[in-house]
Amino acid sequence: MEYKGFLVSTDNYMNMQLANCEEYIDGQCTGALGEVLIRCNNVLYIRGAPEGEDMS
């Protein structure tokens, strides 16, 4: 399971707020979630968008 969105904010515990978030399962988009909060203990890794990828 993977979530893609725009990072809005984090806190000292590494909780993350994402905007325009989409959920992906096995590489397939399962739908738009909008605004989400991901708790710190659910984060495995974070990466930026690949160079040149359109984020609009």
Domain 2-42 has CATH 2.30.30.100: yes
**Average pLDDT for the chain:** 91
pLDDT above 70: residue 56: no
Interacting residues of 30 by C-beta distance below 8 A, sequence separation 6+:
23, 24
Interacting residues of 37 by C-beta distance below 8 A, sequence separation 6+:
15, 16, 17, 18
pLDDT digits (tens, 9 = 90+) for 17-29: 999 999 999 999 9
Domain range summary for the chain, segments of one domain joined by +: 2-42
Rounded to an integer, the average pLDDT of 8-22 is 95
Q: What is the pTM of this model?
A: 0.80
